[in-house]
Chain A
Amino acid sequence: MSEYETIIGLETHIQLNTTTKIFCSCKADSWDDPPNSNICPVCTGLPGVLPVLNERVVEKGALLAAAMQAEIQPVSYFDRKNYFYPDLPKGYQISQYDQPLARGGFLDLPMPEGYTRRVAIHKLHIEEDAGKTVNEDGQRLIDFNRCGVPLVEMVTGPDLRSAEEAAQYLMRLRQLLRWLGVSEADMEKGHLRADANVSIRPEGADYLNPKTEIKNVNSVVSLRDAINAEVERQINQVEGGGQIEAWTLDWDDNAGVLRKMRSKETEADYRYFREPDLLPVRIDEIQREEILAELPELPLERRARFVEQYELPEYDADILTGERGLSDYFETAAATYGSDPKRVSNWVMNDVLRLINDRELLAEELRLTPEHLAEIINLVDASTINTSTGKSLLEKVEDSGQSPAEIVEEEGLGVVSDEDAIREIIVSVIEANPDQVATYQSGKTTIVGWFVGQVMKQSRGKADLQLTRSILEELLTK
């Protein structure tokens, strides 16, 4: 098996998160809406209507192009892609063909194994989505809500060498799209869809064999599974003396199998020609500068900076830059805290992330601000509260929106380091538990942990741990 090399190219369709559709003023996102509720004469292609370009689509597309290191074209054109299908109401899709919005570009994929795969972008253009066809009870039902939803189509070169790399590409792309704020990139909702072109060749060969196209892969896991299944099928086919034909395959997620949709011997002729109803898209130098000015520090750049500037391990830097909001959160907390960024990183990665996941929030939506987090860590450092109180404070701040200091004050959460008070609790615990005392005195001194727990329980976690231990040992050995 190891003598074959896998060659993969990905074609992705990215739904931009504009408020309205690309050529009309209908709402773009219809996820929660009933079929055919966000439609108008324009997006349903009634006779006589005309498309009018939503400038936000161009801006978001161009921002993505800039982030992919692609060259934004000063002039690009829309073209008609002609074909018949019931969910394509005009009988053509308005797309871009030979003069797309941007050319070139690439995405670097740092692989867990340590190497970086650079994936070239062959094509990046904007277009409208078609509707959705559902077959039900022998009827073909059409939902036009998705007609005219703005898409960016991005096609990679045949540069990916494994299902794992393809999965990485999709994850990094999803991260980038959210980072830029151009797409929600929710694969479950079809905001990011991928088709994979897969072929194999003998290791070391420099030619490309016929490829198959896998459609309908709508999660990172499906993409990985579908490619692995197809590579295995192709190897078996070739090993068995067969040939690979240019099929289009459909990935059945539930069954976990590929199904042949059609043979692809003849390319469809879409009779592309310039869309006469739309003017050329012009992006002059000033607009280009404005778009580039909006380009934030990108995830991989920030990841490298975190390693360099905060001396974080790669692992920490990768997780902290998973989302732009989280990385901003960390930076603000680290700056407020002032010293030892790794300590802030630990709190963010262990505790803040759990809070984010439990409550299904984004970092920027937390009421627990990065300043609050820094304050809590400072309170722990100063032994005003102990670590476990600090951790429970995170939730309390999030619930109430009050500052940590206020809560500590109000609820009396400060550490009890008054020796008499602790000694009093310990005496009562010892008196109430003669059996455990006997166990300890018979030599099983590990039971001291149980006593610590009892003391903490009675002090509501406020007893100073060191002090508790030393008093316990003193009184138990008496």
Chain B
Amino acid sequence: MQIYELPADMLARLIRTREISAVEALESVLGRIAEVDGRPGSLNSSDDDPEDNERVHAFINLTPDRARIQAEEIDRRTAAGEDPGPLAGVPFTVKDIFCVKDTPSTAGSKILANFVAPYTATPVSRMEAAGGVMLGKVNLDEFTYGSSNESSAFQPSPRNPWDLTRVPGGSSGGSAAAVAAGEGMLSLGTDTAGSIRQPAAFCGVVGMKPTYGRVSRYGLIAFGSSLDCPGPVAGNVTDAALMMNTIAGPDKRDGTAANMPVPDYTKDLKVGVRGMRIGLSSEYFRITYFDPVTGEFDQQPIPEEIESAVLSAAGYLAQMGADIVEDVPMPHTKYGVPVYFVVSRVEAASNLHRYDGVKYGYRTPDSVDYLPELYRKSRAEGFGVQSKLRILMGMYVSAAQYSEQYYNRALRVRTLIRNDYEEIFDPEGEHRLDALLTPTTPTTAFPIGEVYGDSVLMQYADQFTVPANHAGVPGLSIPAGFAGDGLPIGVQLLGPDFSEAKLLQIGMAYEMATQGEEWRRQIPRIE
């Protein structure tokens, strides 16, 4: 086994006991990256290199020199008998939507391609303070707007390490692909509608969207400010818990960060699920969408192999003593995507206002002598098509004459979605659930180029993940085997506010119960 294949938890222990040096670990991971990642995404990549289809392309900016300085510092500290922290020497990557001081922070967009952040995002600085070694920035959909990474201005976009003709998912696609391919044990992602959980499911890794406010958003370039959650992408449940320990907590730079103490997520990870009540809902076994012509609801069942992966997981949990509660009503699940289309776009359009060519980032090279022309040209040339779609729709549904019909109505439906969760998790209520068990995604990873461009269909891929963002509740996606196409399947656990510890316990129980299964031994082959 190579060092880059070790889980973060084990590697940190070996580095703290000086059995492996941080520099050794870093070099092992850098070697792996050199082997599998190929050329990094860039703005000028018109020429299609056939080799591109044989590599992962997780990175936009690899910063090995910066990482070496950090790794040497970890080794110096362990040699001096100091404890560098729980992530001692663990190489990790950061989705390029977070600012990291003195490094380019691009958001996957041409408009920020030359932006070098003068400060570091809170979760990144917390990981570094815990001894983590930052490798660099990984790719994403432009400004996180997408579920495949194909919309990044930095091409080639990441591939799915299990099948390089497939997308890794998105928008934290670079994060999930990197962890799955052994390019860093941990990655910091963000989840606005499923952007951590969906690529985690597609790439066969663990991804957690914490409760809104559990992890500070300071330094996260905003998409939907009321939905965005930074969170971990990791190889297994223990590593996700370890990473949650370092990134969660109050932050005086984020007024919406929850002022609550952070439990030790790794402490009771193995307590088991005996007596826990875990629900299944039929709303999560079908896709409900609006017929674009008639506007009527249409339904499609999810593929059987995904449904059976969820039921099989339920079976394991039942065997270990959990009560499985069936037919849990989640009546507003189907509104999750339409509501998201309105709420996230209003916030996104406003959040994109600051990119105007005046202060930083891309400015049109044309000479203009009229200020609005500078705005128009810089934005038209700097933003990609997904950003423009969001600006157009966001502006439309928040205009004075439409905001009641769209935006305010969407906010009311959002409350109904929240109520669905409050009811099923109510300890005095009918269902009294500890968690809801669902598929993470209705399909496995789709082929590159197949769904991209059809943004409605791509957004329906978020139907099972986005309701948790509306409600603010936490969700965990864990690998649950493979489909007939050889691609990973993910199952999702959703719980009430601040129930991350319990979700991780359930995930851990399932992980341990399936440890002997044949599919657990599969690794992605990149060659």
Contact = CB atoms under 8 A, between A and B. Distances in A.
Contacts of A140: 371
A44 interface: yes
Interface string A57-71: 000000000000000
Contacts of A123: none
A49 B119 CA distance: 10
The DSSP consensus for interface residues of chain B is loop
Interface string B465-498: 0000000000000000000000000000000000
Instruction: Identify which of B99, B117, B253, B399 gathers the most chain A CB atoms within 10 Å of its CB.
Output: B253
Contacts of B224: 276
B400 interface: yes
Nearest to A47: B221
Given A86-B371, A271-B403, A273-B403, A92 B252 contact: no
A277 B255 CA distance: 7
15 contacts: A41-B118, A46-B99, A46-B118, A47-B105, A47-B221, A48-B221, A50-B256, A53-B255, A91-B353, A269-B400, A271-B400, A271-B403, A273-B347, A276-B226, A278-B255
Given A86-B358, A271-B398, A273-B403, A49 B218 contact: yes
Interface in B234-264: 252-256
A140 B359 CA distance: 13
Given A86-B371, A91-B356, A50 B350 contact: no
A105 to B, nearest CB: 27
A52 interface: yes
Given A82-B353, A91-B354, A276-B225, A44 B359 contact: yes
A48 B115 contact: no
Nearest to B397: A271
Interface of B: 98-99, 105, 107, 112, 115, 117-119, 121, 217-222, 224-226, 252-256, 346-347, 349-350, 352-354, 356, 358-360, 371-372, 375, 395, 398-400, 403, 407
B407 A273 contact: yes
A305 to B, nearest CB: 43
Given A92-B353, A276-B347, A47 B117 contact: yes
Given A48-B98, A48-B220, 6 more contacts: A44-B359, A48-B117, A49-B119, A50-B217, A84-B356, A277-B256
A50 to B, nearest CB: 5
A47 B256 contact: no
A366 B107 CA distance: 59
B218 A48 contact: yes
Contact of A84 (B226, B353, B403): B353
Contacts of A53: 255
Contacts of B350: 80, 82, 91-92, 271, 273
Nearest to A278: B255
Interface residues of A, number: 28
Contact of B253 (A46, A50, A82): A50
A277 B225 contact: yes
A268 B142 CA distance: 30
A44 B112 CA distance: 16
A271 B359 CA distance: 23
B330 to A, nearest CB: 24
Interface in A87-106: 89-92
B489 to A, nearest CB: 33
Contacts of B356: 84, 86, 91
A80 B354 CA distance: 13
Nearest to A138: B369
Interface string A267-293: 001010100111100000000000000
A276 B99 CA distance: 20
A50 B255 contact: yes
B255 A52 contact: yes
Given A52-B254, A271-B400, A46 B407 contact: no
B225 A41 contact: no
A25 to B, nearest CB: 10
